[in-house]
């Protein structure tokens, strides 16, 4: 991994337009995501978070404008970006074990037919230990709880040892233990110099960030949480779904996996 102090941003966009199928997901976007920081892509369902994550990973091509990831247009170099999906998006019926799922991360470095080295096995063991999965390493993915599945997918991302770690709403619907473990791990990754980019629709998640992109089909605001999530910016992004009470703010969000919910933060 390069020295994060030598670059101003790991992802940079100018007049970026992205589409999901025939639907424009993000338009006229200008932003820069810093290195060695936790950046949260905040917004409701349909705001452009997942499409932007896919574009950073090289899975979606810009319709116009420019997107630069680690000093080059996507797709990024193999192994340089790790993409962690939600457990709900992974096939729970896959007949593979937790260890096999995490080991798959090393294919980005060795290829599907490449022989794993000692360094690969050590990276896998570190990731399993970090996510506290040692007791279930030989269990099939289908046998795990929802929280364990998500931790296994995060472990897979960690084992890749990439410069950028992308996570698509990793804490949605998790138990408190799994949520706390993932929060601690993301903080540690940032301290080790990695750029962590996490999509979320939850204010509590966004307030943990160093840097926030507030999205609503465009970049509504960007910066530290206190600036990017100011009441006027949230009101602009969420409209009537943004609630402001005497001692808290809240967002009514029709999240696509978990139904209707209210996400609030005490001031």
**Percentage, residues of the chain above pLDDT 90:** 66
Residue 65 lies in a domain: yes
The CATH number of residue 148's host domain is: 3.40.50.300
Q: Tens digits of per-residue pLDDT, 28-37?
A: 999 999 999 9
pTM (predicted TM-score): 0.87
Separation between Cα atoms, residue 231 and residue 223, nearest integer Å: 14
Where in the sequence is the domain holding 227, given as residue range(s)?
4-233
Residue closest to 95 by CA, chosen among 155, 139, 157, 147: 139
Q: What angle do CA 226, 24, 15 make, to 5 degrees?
A: 60
Number of domains making up the chain: 1
Size of the chain, expressed as the number of residues it contains? 267
Average pLDDT, the chain: 87
Q: What angle do CA 149, 154, 159 make, to 5 degrees?
A: 125
Residue 252 lies in a domain: no
What is the model's pLDDT at position 107? 87
Asked if 167 contacts 157 with a C-beta cutoff of 8 angstroms, the reply is yes
Residue 266 lies in a domain: no
Asked if 217 contacts 48 with a C-beta cutoff of 8 angstroms, the reply is yes
Residue 260 lies in a domain: no
Asked if 27 contacts 217 with a C-beta cutoff of 8 angstroms, the reply is yes
Name the band, by pLDDT with cuts 50, 70 and 90, for residue 87: confident
Identify the H or E element spanning 119: helix 118-130
Name the band, by pLDDT with cuts 50, 70 and 90, for residue 195: very high
What is the model's pLDDT at position 198? 97
What is the model's pLDDT at position 63? 96
Residue 76 lies in a domain: yes
Residue 245 lies in a domain: no
User: Mean pLDDT, to the nearest integer, of 122-141?
Assistant: 95
């Amino acid at each position: 991994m390069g020295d994060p102090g030598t670059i101003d941003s790991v992802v940079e966009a100018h007049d970026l337009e992205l589409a999901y199928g025939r639907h424009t997901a993000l338009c006229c976007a200008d932003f820069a995501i810093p290195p060695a920081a936790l950046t949260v892509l905040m917004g409701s369902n349909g705001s452009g978070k997942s499409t932007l994550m896919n574009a950073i990973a090289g899975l979606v091509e810009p319709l116009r404008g420019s997107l630069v990831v680690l000093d080059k247009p996507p797709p990024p170099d193999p192994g340089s970006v790790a993409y962690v999906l939600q457990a709900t998006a992974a096939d729970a019926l896959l007949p593979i074990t937790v260890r096999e799922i995490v080991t798959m991360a090393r294919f980005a470095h060795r290829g599907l037919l490449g022989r794993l080295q000692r360094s690969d096995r050590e990276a896998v063991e570190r990731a399993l230990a970090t996510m506290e999965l040692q007791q279930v390493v030989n269990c099939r993915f289908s046998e795990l709880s929802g929280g364990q599945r998500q931790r296994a997918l995060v472990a897979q991302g960690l084992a890749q040892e990439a410069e950028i770690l992308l996570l698509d709403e990793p804490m949605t619907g998790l138990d408190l233990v799994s949520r706390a473990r993932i929060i601690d791990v993301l903080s540690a990754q940032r301290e080790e110099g990695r750029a962590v980019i996490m999509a979320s629709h939850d204010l509590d998640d966004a307030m943990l960030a160093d840097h926030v992109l507030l999205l609503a089909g465009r970049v509504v605001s960007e910066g530290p949480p206190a600036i990017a999530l100011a009441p006027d910016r949230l009101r602009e992004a969420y409209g009537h779904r943004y609630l402001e009470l005497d001692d808290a703010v809240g967002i009514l969000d029709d999240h696509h996996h978990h139904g209707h919910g209210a996400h609030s933060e005490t001031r």
